[in-house]
Amino acid sequence: MGRAILMVMDSFGVGGARDAEAFGDVGADTFGHILAAAEAGNADRTGLRAGPLALPNLRRLGLYRATGHDHGEAPVTGRYGTAGETSRGKDTPSGHWEIAGVPVLFDWGYFPRTIPAFPASLIQQIVDDSAIPGILGDRHASGTEIIEELGEESVASGRPIFYTSTDSVLQIAAHETHFGLERLYELCAIARRHVDPLNIGRVIARPFIGEDAASFRRTANRRDYSVPPPEPTLLDRAVAAGRKVIAIGKIGDIFAGQGISEVRKGDGNDALFDAMLGALDDVADGDLVFANFVDFDMLHGHRRDVAGYAAALEAFDALLPELEARLQPGDLAIITADHGCDPTCTGSDHTRENVPLLVFGPDVAPGPLGHRDTFADIGESVAAHLKLPAGRHGTSFL
Ligand SMILES: O=P(O)(O)O[C@H]1O[C@H](CO)[C@@H](O)[C@H]1O
Ligand SMILES: [Mn+2]
Ligand SMILES: [Mn+2]
């Protein structure tokens, strides 16, 4: 049976979603467009990276073969394919819950692309309960841009910045020391209660530091207040069977702590990868390590930073041999993603895309998996591997 290691490269879509048009994302292809940009010399940045994308390990595991960018020239050592999303949203919880066997088949609540974006009654309730002097923002925005624009005013006035996106989110940015981190968390917990009736997926605390617009920087103390998944996930099934589930990075928040034995965090993909390797020492056969690598999305996809995304992919790729060296007979490792965030698209939002499916381990025979119609097949495959009861939504590919 071995262990299972599930890795989500946050936002690393591979294009080709059948329903891309419904999301305004026709042609979006995070991987394909980064690959093409790098090939054309458009993903160079002095001191960071240059030239064509070099992902030898992901290529060997089948990423290029799965996505039509390799026609048999390079040997492949993993099982490779792609998967489409059935959840109605292209957000992080929908993607992760579907990966864990529970697609989101209901509609989230969303805030309109108007100014103000939030209902006045909602803001009034939050202001009353938290005793803040009011809010700033109140619109759709990119998190880094709105802090640059309104951060100084927020520090001076004590008013936190409220903003949203095409995801079902209420994000609150405030200064970590001037406003206070714990106070921001309390405010988000209050906001969480008030957005429940609106069916909002997440409230996100976005603390930042720095003394002026030029130096403001968001910190790793981000915290997501997610609603719990609508039914038991793979994680709940594992914990109910007495297994250990170690959540790396955002996973604990995304599942609202449900079906998780232990949370380990890290600031950035490298630290998260280390935390994941460390967790492997503390799990036994039948246990699950579930990791999210957030930098791809937060630092590069939403920022439409092609060179940065390419460099982050290359850095992640370079870490993979270390993981492979620690895998034991019987272990199952899977790399996938939760949605796209094509850095060559306009705006700053996620993009509806298929995701890669790279399955490997000492006993995994290489070969194609084809295209899977739901991310839930991933969770069901892990369940089958760990000899857990099957769920209702997907089919194991093992
Ligand atoms: O622009 P930032 O604050 O990074 O926001 C992004 O992060 C949110 C959660 O992943 C998304 O909804 C998107 O809007
Ligand atoms: Mn995500
Ligand atoms: Mn995102």
Say if ligand 1 is within 6 A of residue 11 CB.
no
Kindly list the domain boundaries of the chain, sorted by start residue: 4-106+230-386, 120-226
Q: Count the neighbouring beta carbons within 10 Å of the beta carbon of residue 130.
A: 16
Strands (DSSP E) contained in 134-219 are: 136-140, 161-164, 169-175, 202-209, 217-218
Say if ligand 1 is within 6 A of residue 165 CB.
yes
- Going by alpha carbons, the residue nearest to atom 5 of ligand 1 is 143
* CA 204 to ligand 1 center in whole angstroms: 9
339 assigned to a ligand binding site: yes
Given the candidates 3.30.70.2190, 3.40.50.450, 3.40.50.1820, 3.40.720.10, the CATH classification of the domain at 4-106+230-386 is 3.40.720.10
The CATH code of the domain at 120-226 is 3.30.70.1250
Do strands 136-140 and 161-164 pair parallel, antiparallel, or not at all (unpaired)?
parallel
Tell me the backbone φ, ψ of residue 229, rounded to 5 degrees. Answer: -55, 150
Structural contact between residues 69 and 36, judged by C-beta atoms closer than 8 angstroms: no
Two tokens at 142?
């990119």
pLDDT tens, N- to C-terminus, the chain (398 residues): 899 999 999 999 999 999 999 999 999 999 999 999 999 999 999 999 999 999 999 999 999 999 999 977 789 999 999 999 999 999 999 999 999 999 999 999 999 999 999 999 999 999 999 999 999 999 999 999 999 999 999 999 999 999 999 999 999 999 999 999 999 999 999 999 999 999 999 999 999 999 999 999 999 999 999 999 999 999 999 999 999 999 999 999 999 999 999 999 999 999 999 999 999 999 999 999 999 999 999 999 999 999 999 999 999 999 999 999 999 999 999 999 999 999 999 999 999 999 999 999 999 999 999 999 999 999 999 999 999 999 999 999 99
From 92, 165, 303, 342, the mutation candidate for ligand 1 (largest count of ligand atoms within 8 A of CB) is: 165
Cβ neighbors of 200 (< 8 A, separation 6 or more) are 108, 109, 111, 168, 169, 170, 227
Complex confidence, ipTM: 0.97
302 assigned to a ligand binding site: yes
Say if ligand 1 is within 6 A of residue 298 CB.
yes
Q: Which atom of ligand 1 is nearest to the CA of 141?
A: 1
Task: Report the SS3 class of residue 31.
Answer: helix
Say if ligand 1 is within 6 A of residue 254 CB.
no
